[in-house]
């Protein structure tokens, strides 16, 4: 496994991602995942709104944007999987290079920009999946959409995925789509939340809806969003998305590393968001994500009020072994 991870790091980041996940898919199709990653069913289960999370560890959105790897990721032992972010229309994302690795810090900066194959492609994958665990879908808006069209994008995705999603995560916090984080402002998130609330009610979607938040907003803004989440009967938050703050990232030179930072340097900021949320509403259901790479950082999320935890960057650096490390 160590040799494979070293080999993958020699490849450009997006090529490495493609090779690793497609190799995992091959192992799944050959029924060899349990041979290479012989994990038992361990970890404490969680019940929420009729969903049974077999353990508290999930894979965050961004790793499998299009639902191409649901079954193979599920076979590794995750308690839940979140796919996306998905948009109504396929889009290529931002220009390359757009992913930068910092191995000594187990960190990544990405400015992908919601590159995905579109919601209709994802729906086909959702219909065809064999994975029986909890599956969430993270939804967003196309880059060119503004104003009411942006809200319409969220609703289109919402309506198309709810027949197949165990929960929906509303992504208002990616730093890589122009002005998306403006949805943290009340005049922008209230119309969006109201539209999702109405669509949910009209279509009798009783499963959870979560709001994915940025770690870069102040407490006053977060407090306003939390109040609105309760007003519109949403079910909780995901804390957090990546940060544009590179203060904890160590690198030399003057290269432009604009984009969202994930991995170990994100831990403190994502934990601060959990603290704020827990202070304002201890009862709100929280999924913690950001900076988890060992047992200690995993436990920190629960100590700060999270009921579930997701990983992303540590899975890329450490491979499937991280699952056993965190849960056993």
Calpha distance 13→59 (Å, rounded)? 18
Mean pLDDT of 133-146: 96
Longest Cα pair distance anywhere in the chain, in angstroms? 53
User: Annotated catalytic sites, by residue?
Assistant: 174
> Given this structure, which CATH class describes domain 2-327?
alpha beta
| pLDDT of amino acid 181 | 82
Question: What is residue 34's predicted lDDT score, i.e. its pLDDT?
Answer: 86
Q: Whole-angstrom Cα distance, residue 176 to residue 67?
A: 21
Residue 3 clears pLDDT 70, i.e. is over it:
no
pLDDT digits (tens, 9 = 90+) for 69-106: 999 999 999 999 999 999 999 999 999 889 999 999 99
What ranges make up the beta strands (E) of the chain?
Answer: 46-48, 51-53, 57-59, 80-86, 99-102, 107-110, 134-139, 167-171, 209-213, 236-239, 260-263, 285-289, 308-311
> Residue 140: which pLDDT band, with cuts at 50, 70 and 90?
very high
Q: Residue 4 — very low, low, confident or very high, per pLDDT cuts 50/70/90?
A: low
Per-residue confidence band for 124, with pLDDT thresholds at 50, 70 and 90:
very high
Name the β-bridge partners of 237. 211, 286
**pLDDT at res. 253:** 64
pLDDT digits (tens, 9 = 90+) for 254-271: 566 788 999 999 999 999
Lowest mean pLDDT among 77-81, 127-131, 184-188, 232-236: 184-188
């Amino acid at each position: 496994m160590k040799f494979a991870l070293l080999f993958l790091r020699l490849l450009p980041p997006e090529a490495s991602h493609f090779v690793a996940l497609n190799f995992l898919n091959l192992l799944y199709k050959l029924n060899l995942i349990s041979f290479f990653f012989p994990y038992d069913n361990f970890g404490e289960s969680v019940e929420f709104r009729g969903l049974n999370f077999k353990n508290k560890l999930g894979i965050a959105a961004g790793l499998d944007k299009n639902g191409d790897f649901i079954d193979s990721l599920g076979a590794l032992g995750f308690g839940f999987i979140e796919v996306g972010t998905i948009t109504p229309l396929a889009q290529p994302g931002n220009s390359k290079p757009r992913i930068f690795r910092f191995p000594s810090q187990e960190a990544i900066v990405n400015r992908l920009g919601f590159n995905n194959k579109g919601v209709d492609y994802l729906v086909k994958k959702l219909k065809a999946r064999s994975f029986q665990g909890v599956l969430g879908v993270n939804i967003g808006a196309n880059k060119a959409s503004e104003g009411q069209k942006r809200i319409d994008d969220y609703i289109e995705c919402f309506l198309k995925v709810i027949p197949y999603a165990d929960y929906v995560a509303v992504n208002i916090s990616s730093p890589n789509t122009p002005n998306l984080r403006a949805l943290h402002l009340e005049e922008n998130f209230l119309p969006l939340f109201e539209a999702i609330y109405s669509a949910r009610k009209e279509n009798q979607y009783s499963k959870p809806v979560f709001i994915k938040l940025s770690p870069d907003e102040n407490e006053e803004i977060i407090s306003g969003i939390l109040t609105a989440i309760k007003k519109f009967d949403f079910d909780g938050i995901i804390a957090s998305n990546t940060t544009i703050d590179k203060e904890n990232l160590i690198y030399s030179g003057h290269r432009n590393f604009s984009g969202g930072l994930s991995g170990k340097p994100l831990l403190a900021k994502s934990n601060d968001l959990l603290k704020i949320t827990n202070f304002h509403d201890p009862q709100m259901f929280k999924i913690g994500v950001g900076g988890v790479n060992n047992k200690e950082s995993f436990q920190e999320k629960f100590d700060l009020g999270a009921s579930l935890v997701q990983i992303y960057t540590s899975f890329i650096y450490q491979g499937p072994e991280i699952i056993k490390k965190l849960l056993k």
